[in-house]
Structure 1
Amino acid sequence: MATPPPHRFAPLRLSAPIALVLTALTLSGCADSDSSESAGDPIAIGEISKITSAEQLSFPLDAYELTPAQSRQLELAQDQLVVKCMTAQGFQWAAPERPPVTEANRHGRRYGILDEAEARQTGYHGAPQTDRGAKGREEGQDSSETAQKAAGECVLKARAQLNGKKSMDKADTTSDTYVEQLIVQDAERAEQDPQVRKAFAKWSDCMSKAGHDYDDPWASNNDPEWGKSETATDSERRVAAADAACKISTNLAGVWLAVETAYQERTLETNAEALAQAKKDNEDRIRRAAAVLGKN
């Protein structure tokens, strides 16, 4: 089966749909945060920086979101708790192998591809993934139906322990989910802001001059044609390179960042109390994870 190219919001590591209602935190602030502006009005923005690399991207809500390293720490702690839970029941169970984590790619292709050299090499597909993930049945794990059911129960127990709760079920969400919901919400608002739409139009004109007809960066990024091949074709690499070059020449990412930053700053003001609680909850989870890992 062909591997499709990355899609929008993939770098955010979303763990739950935006429609989920959180039990521990209120989302009332989210619903009201647009009340002062009518639909279609541009938000007031600050200085527009020249953005030529994803490494330059940073956002106000970053401080409230788990870093990739922290997320991995929680995963490793959960893995160890599950192994302990399963072996106590007599099942053969080993922790899954997880790919390495680097902070440099935190925002990766948040605004699509920005590196023309990378685009010419890998197109929209990105570098081949050779590391095994954590999903599916791993080596050293009992694949019987009984074991898999027990593993699901052990996962919920581990999640509850790391979240400081007596129990959790599959529908329960966590504080990082709340922050991710706000991030996605503001990303969607930013994309619809007239200032970003105007920047999209400039990018589209640039692409047209290069011989490529796309209305916005996601149209080229998610072109169904790219999903027909396991790796990037010459055509895909040409389009991706033009995409990156046009983003730089029009400073699309700079405008986009300024607008999304403004929406996030407003969200911070509207949801200050809930975000402070989310940050504390995440800190507590990391502390519990460190305690689990420190005992092993």
Structure 2
Amino acid sequence: MLLCVSCAACGAGNTNDNALSAADLYGSGHTDKSTSQPSSTVTPQAEDAAPWVSPFDAYFLEGEREHVVDQARDRLVRACMTSQGFEYQGDAGGSDDADSSANADFAATWGPSDEDTARQYGYAAPSTANRDGNAAASASYPSGYMHALINEENTGCIDQADARLGYGDTWFSAMGAYEKIRDDADAKALAANKVRQVMQQWEACMSNRGYANRDPRELVGKYADRQAGTSPDTAEQKAAMADAACKVSTGFMQIIRESYTEAERQAVLDNQATMDQIKQLSETIYANAKRELA
């Protein structure tokens, strides 16, 4: 949570429970004209054949370019903290696996979509325990460390580093507009006819297995409070495996992804000026980062 690009990027994407982009503010349609895909055409392999990519992603820094910005921020923050008498300990909870973050967001929202994952983890994302454990292990800092790093006055070393890189008022104003654009797109995605249809198919499948849930998110919420790093009990394991099997048999996740892609692609077209501004700001931040590392 200490990295402002990551915070700005992920935080805006998470303002509603269904915001699902890879690294969310780096980045996630034409009009929805399709109907629910017959389940007979969907195989287990098709459910998770490739990482989902949001149409919003092209307007934000990703991969190596994002890594360059992170390196520049780290250098600036480290120098600032040293000048205040602290040894910068870095961000304990970060993840370098940008390619899988979109699918991890889907799993966190909708639950598992394959039975092997469901059997092993239930409704806990496989990476959650590791991240929480790392954060807990580094939760103790010297007196004054956190205030020097980041504070409500926006004078911390992270604030200073981000300002130097280009995360100023214009960026955060654009992010506010982006949050609204994305939330509206995601609401349209979930309201699409094919999503309602596949939800009904999933519900019928679960009913045949003895469950009365109408939406996979009900089960995600039911088991959300299990302590990270602990194993699912039998009831959670059985529910997760039934849920995953019904997702596969109905093509649930494929249809959810398609609907998000369509709604978000249209949102980009409808808000092209804002998205182009974000892309230009991102390019400026990247250029500033390269200058800091030169």
TM-score, with length taken from structure 1 = 0.71
2:193 equivalent in structure 1: 194
Q: Which letter maps to 1:43?
A: D
1:230-269 → structure 2 map (5 Å cutoff): 230=228, 231=230, 232-269=232-269
Q: Supply the distance in 1 between the matched residues of 2:71 and 2:176 (Cα, whole angstroms).
A: 18
How far is 1:202 from its partner?
A: 0.7
CA distance in 2, matches of 1:217, 1:161: 43
The 1:72–1:125 alpha-carbon spacing in structure 2 relative to 1, beyond 3 Å, is farther
Question: Any conservation in 1 of the 2:51–2:103 contact (CA below 8 Å)?
Answer: no
2:163 is matched with which residue? 160
Hey, what's the Cα distance between the residues in 1 that align with 2:198 and 2:73? 43
Question: What's 1:43 paired with?
Answer: 32
- 1:151 pairs with 2:154: no
The aligned counterpart of 2:208 is: 209
Equivalent pair of 2:36/2:255 in contact (CA under 8 Å)? no
C-alpha root-mean-square deviation of aligned residues, in Å? 3.5
Q: Which one has the bigger helix percentage?
A: 2
Residue 48 of structure 2 corresponds to residue 59 of structure 1: no
Aligned to 2:217, the other structure's residue is in SS state: helix
Counterpart residue type for residue 283 of structure 1: E
Report how far residue 270 of structure 1 moved: 0.8
Structure 2 gaps of 5+ residues are 1-8, 17-28
For the 8 Å contact 2:59–2:278, the answer to whether it is kept is yes
Question: Kindly tell me: are residues 138 and 60 of structure 1, through their superposed partners in 2, closer, same or farther at Cα, counting changes over 3 Å?
Answer: same
Q: Cα gap change, 1:71/1:215 in structure 2, threshold over 3 Å: closer, same or farther?
A: farther
Name which of structure 1's ranges 200-209 and 54-63 shifts more when overlaid on structure 2: 54-63
**Partner Cα separation in structure 2 for residue 73 and residue 136 of structure 1:** 27
Question: SS of the counterpart of 2:129?
Answer: coil
Give me the TM-score of the superposition, normalised by structure 2. Answer: 0.72
Aligned pair in 2 of structure 1 residues 267, 45: CA closer, same or farther (>3 Å)?
farther
Percent identity over paired residues: 22
Shift of 1:87: 1.9
Q: Would the aligned equivalents of 1:119 and 1:240 in 2 still touch at CA under 8 Å?
A: yes
Aligned-partner Cα distance in 2 for 1:274–1:46: 31
CA distance in 2, matches of 1:211, 1:47: 24
Per-residue deviation, residues 6-53 of structure 1 (Å, max 9, x unmatched)? xxxxxx83347759xxxxxxxxxxxxx9xxxxxxxx832499694411
Tell me: CA distance 1:172–1:104, structure 2 relative to 1, closer, same or farther (3 Å).
closer
For the 8 Å contact 1:124–1:221, the answer to whether it is kept is yes
Residue 63 of structure 1 and its aligned partner are, at CA, apart by 1.4
Whether 1:92 aligns to 2:90 is: no
C-alpha spacing 1:178/1:64, structure 2 compared with 1 (3 Å):
farther
Q: Match of 2:207, as an amino acid?
A: S
Q: How many residues align?
A: 253
Show CA shifts across 1:226-252 (max 9, x none).
524552222112111111111111111
For the residues of structure 2 that align with 1:178 and 1:60, how far apart are their CA atoms? 16
Q: Does 1:13 align with 2:10?
A: yes
Cα deviation, residue 173, structure 1 = 2.0
- Whether contact under 8 Å (1:69, 1:101) holds in the other structure is no
Gap change, CA 1:136 and 1:85, over 3 Å in 2: farther
| Unaligned runs of at least 5 residues, structure 1 | 1-11, 20-32, 34-41
Asked whether the equivalents of residues 18 and 181 of structure 1 are also in contact (C-alpha less than 8 Å), the reply is: no
Partners in 1 of 2:245 and 2:13 — Cα distance? 34
Q: Residue 52 of structure 1 contacts residue 114 of structure 1 at CA under 8 Å; is this kept in 2?
A: yes
Q: Which amino acid aligns with 2:117?
A: E
Is 2:113 the partner of 1:119? Answer: no
What is the distance in 2 between the residues matched to 1:164 and 1:240?
A: 41
* Residues 78 and 120 (structure 1), Cα distance of their counterparts in 2 relative to 1, 3 Å cut: same
